[in-house]
Structures are given as structure tokens and as C-alpha cells.
Amino acid sequence: MIDKINRSHFYNLIMKSIKGFFIKKYIRSPKREWLRYDSVFMIVGLIISVATLTIALAIFEGYETVLKDTIIGANSHIYFFDDRDGAMNEAKKERAGEFLDNKDEVVSYAPVVISQAMVTYGDRLHGCILRGIEWQKDELPVEYYRFISEGTGALHNANDAVLGFNLARKLNASLGDTITISTPLATSVTPLGIRQNNLQLRVVGIYRSGMHEYDSNYLFVDLETAQAFTQISGYSMIEVKLSSDHIDRADYLSYLWRHELDGAYHISSWIDFNEYLFSLLEMEKWVIFIIFSFLVLVASFNVISSVSTSIMEKRRDLGILKAIGYPNSFLKNLFLQRSLILAFISIVLGIIIGMGIAVILANQTLLLLQGDVYFLDSINIRFNLFNTTVVLAVALLITFLTTLIPIKSITRLNVTEILRNN
């Protein structure tokens, strides 16, 4: 055996620990003890529960991250409204512009006109949110060009329009089609009767952000076209994009600027509109984690059964080892470490299998989310080191605690009784 030990430095390192030697011998016993059914139940139980937990966390993390990315991307981060709840005039827009030009946190800003309208194509009719934007700007405060999935985002002609992906599908409209928008707000009375304000637009691009709500409602046109159509003399609001370091403190900045501008504007942030959603998601993620941790707890009952069976089977060995002087603490440690090694391997396998299944789920098209309920219609996953570490630590802790229960019996084993009865 010494010849064998000298052959391998790695083997030498393992052999330095007597416990390691025992555990190795027991795990690699010619009887393949760890392949017994109770050990298999323990391993499979841990793998399934940890895989489930990993999948659940990956989906929740992915959902939260993608939703946040999309909301932050498709929207600007701070909104300047007129303090009188009406349209913002040119002078106020200029003043806000001067203020924002001096702010380091600001990446870009632009005025926008927003109004509700009806859109028709052929015999189909749908409500929409009309967004008049300064599409010529190099950097818009919202991710607009990134989400153009077909055609172009450039609105060179006054009647060019970009249609949300789901809205286009509902209308059965595609690139090059002419759609009509109308609004009852801007009707006028003429000698010939009431004239409905209609505008014919040509679809030049399709917008697809992944957010069901936006893709089902948005219709983008040039800012001036929107102003003329809605008869808004001014702007609905100014949208502000912050640099990435400041996105998460948008609510604080909006509060600060409101005071710096002496309340001349009503200023809100993306956090004000979505705070509860993200708090809820964060809470739900941990609720799911706790619930699925119970799966690991249930699986760890197999650990109790496996370790108990193992102690029963090794009763004779334990009696002999006790007789030749091995203390209870050594023997208990032996079973604890053996159990933790098997659990560690099972948990790591569970995490790997869970990640694999999560990747498959994210790439399949059979099971999709209901976009109108969950905002997003695809399953997104994200893995992060923190979640993986928490899963590993919690599963190991549960295994550790459940192993402590059966190994107590080692202390109670009566050596003389074992020697007599065997």
C-alpha cells in the first residue's frame, strides 16, 4: 500500500487524514455500500429537491431581471410633467432642458407627446397609445431602436408609424400597410357636421420589447405629427434617461430635483410606478425559496434513514473500533463526513441538473407565459453565484442537521453487547 501511496501525491494528501481513509474505504467498499437503496434514495431525493429549487430560483431571477431590464429599457427613468396636470409649454420645456443639461447623472432627455387613440386596419379596430417622439435624436431617453424587430425606426415622413408587435398582429397589419388612427378628443364641428379627426399612417417598422403591455398598445409617430393630431400645443412630458449608476436612485433624484426646481414640475421616477411590482417579486422569490427548501428538508429525511441503516449495518465494525480505542467523537465524525460528502455530491449534481433543465425551459416554445398576466411571454432564466451559494449552503446545513439525529445513537452502542451477540 505504501508503494501505491508514493505513486500518487493526491492519494498521499487524502491519506494524511485517517478519517479520509475510513470514509474512502467505506464509500469505495467492495460491497458498494453507497449504492444501497437507502443511499440511492438519499442521493436521488437530494438531487430532485435541489434541482427543483435551482429551477425555481433561476426562473424567478430571470423573470425579475428581464422584466426590470425591459421596464428600464423601454421606459425612461425620470419624468417631468407640468405642475398643472396639463401639457408642458415650450418655455417650461426649455427651462427643464437647461436644468438637465447641468446634471451629470443625465444621459439624455427628450419631450414626448402621449395620447390614447383608436387604430383601424381593414375591418379591425383596436385601442392604442400614441407616442410622438423625437426619433431624430442620437440618444433617445427610451430604448426605441433596440426594440425595432422589423423595418425601420426612422419616421422620415409625417405619416410614418411604428407599430407594436402584438398590436400589428391583432390588426393583421404588416410593413407597408396603411392604418388609420382616430381620436374623439380632437373632433371639430363644421358646417357639414362633426368632423372626426382621422389620420392615415404607413407602417414602416414593428416594435417588439418583450413587454406584453407595450407591444400590444404602442404606436410611434413623429413628435410633430402627434402634436398636430392630438392638438396638444406643447408636450405631455419630458423623459429623462439616467446613467446606469444612478438608475436605482431615480426616486431620490426626482425628489431632489423637485425641490431644486421649487415645485415647478411634477417629477416622478420609474421606481414610483414599479416599486410594488419589484418588492412583490423579491418577496415572492424568497417565499418560493422557503417553500422549495421544505422539499430539501423532506429529502433529508432520507438522510436520517440512510445514516441510521448504515449505523445498523456497521454496528459490528463500530463495536470493534470502539473496543480498540476509537472514541465516539471520531466515529460520529466519520458518519457525519460520509453523509456530507454524499450530500455535497448530490447537491452539486442537483444544481447542475437544475441549471440544465432551466436552460431547456428557457429555450423551448411549447410552454410560454401568458403575456397579459405576466408582462413577459417568454421564460427567462438567470443564474447567479449568490443564489447558487445559498442553495448549496442551505441544503448542506439541512443535511448536516438531519445527520446529527441518527449519529447520536453511536454513543449509545454497547461494545460488550455487540461483541457478545456477533
Residues at the interface with another protein (CB under 8 A): 1-2, 5, 15-16, 18, 21, 25-26, 29-31, 316-317, 319-328, 330, 415-416, 419-420, 422
For 24, other C-beta atoms within 10 Å of its C-beta total 16
Specify the 3-state DSSP secondary structure of 141. Answer: coil
Judged by beta carbon, residue 3 or residue 104, the one nearer another protein is: 3
For 298, other C-beta atoms within 10 Å of its C-beta total 12
For 255, other C-beta atoms within 10 Å of its C-beta total 14
Judged by beta carbon, residue 191 or residue 325, the one nearer another protein is: 325
Judged by beta carbon, residue 30 or residue 176, the one nearer another protein is: 30
Judged by beta carbon, residue 19 or residue 382, the one nearer another protein is: 19
For the CB of residue 275, give the shortest distance to another protein in the complex, in Å. Answer: 60
Judged by beta carbon, residue 3 or residue 98, the one nearer another protein is: 3
Specify the 3-state DSSP secondary structure of 335. Answer: helix
Specify the 3-state DSSP secondary structure of 176. Answer: coil
**Phi/psi at 414 (5° precision):** -95, 115
Cα–Cα distance between 87 and 207 in angstroms, integer?
A: 26
Alpha helices by DSSP H, listed for 124-268, are 165-171, 212-217, 223-230, 250-260
For the CB of residue 17, give the shortest distance to another protein in the complex, in Å. Answer: 9
Cα–Cα distance between 32 and 375 in angstroms, integer?
A: 51
Calculate the alpha carbon distances from 180 to 126, 129, 187, 255, 282 in Å.
11, 14, 15, 40, 42
For the CB of residue 400, give the shortest distance to another protein in the complex, in Å. Answer: 25
For the CB of residue 27, give the shortest distance to another protein in the complex, in Å. Answer: 10
User: In terms of C-beta density within 10 A (0-12 exposed, 13-18 middle, 19 or more buried), how is residue 160 classed?
Assistant: buried
CB 403 within 8 A of CB 307: yes
For the CB of residue 2, give the shortest distance to another protein in the complex, in Å. Answer: 6
For the CB of residue 313, give the shortest distance to another protein in the complex, in Å. Answer: 11
Judged by beta carbon, residue 259 or residue 420, the one nearer another protein is: 420
For the CB of residue 31, give the shortest distance to another protein in the complex, in Å. Answer: 7
For the CB of residue 325, give the shortest distance to another protein in the complex, in Å. Answer: 2
For 77, other C-beta atoms within 10 Å of its C-beta total 27
Specify the 3-state DSSP secondary structure of 276. Answer: helix
**Neighbouring residues of 37: CB distance < 8 A, sequence distance ≥ 6:** none
Judged by beta carbon, residue 65 or residue 328, the one nearer another protein is: 328
For the CB of residue 318, give the shortest distance to another protein in the complex, in Å. Answer: 10
Judged by beta carbon, residue 28 or residue 146, the one nearer another protein is: 28
Judged by beta carbon, residue 13 or residue 256, the one nearer another protein is: 13
Specify the 3-state DSSP secondary structure of 115. Answer: strand
Judged by beta carbon, residue 16 or residue 259, the one nearer another protein is: 16
Cα–Cα distance between 103 and 96 in angstroms, integer?
A: 11
Strand 178-190 relative to strand 193-207, pairing: antiparallel
**Phi/psi at 135 (5° precision):** -65, -20
For the CB of residue 331, give the shortest distance to another protein in the complex, in Å. Answer: 10
Judged by beta carbon, residue 244 or residue 329, the one nearer another protein is: 329
For the CB of residue 303, give the shortest distance to another protein in the complex, in Å. Answer: 21
Question: C-alpha dihedral over 78, 84, 87, 93, to 10 degrees?
Answer: -60
Residue type, 280: L
Query: The dihedral of CA 335, 340, 342, 343: what is its sign?
Result: positive
Cα–Cα distance between 143 and 137 in angstroms, integer?
A: 12
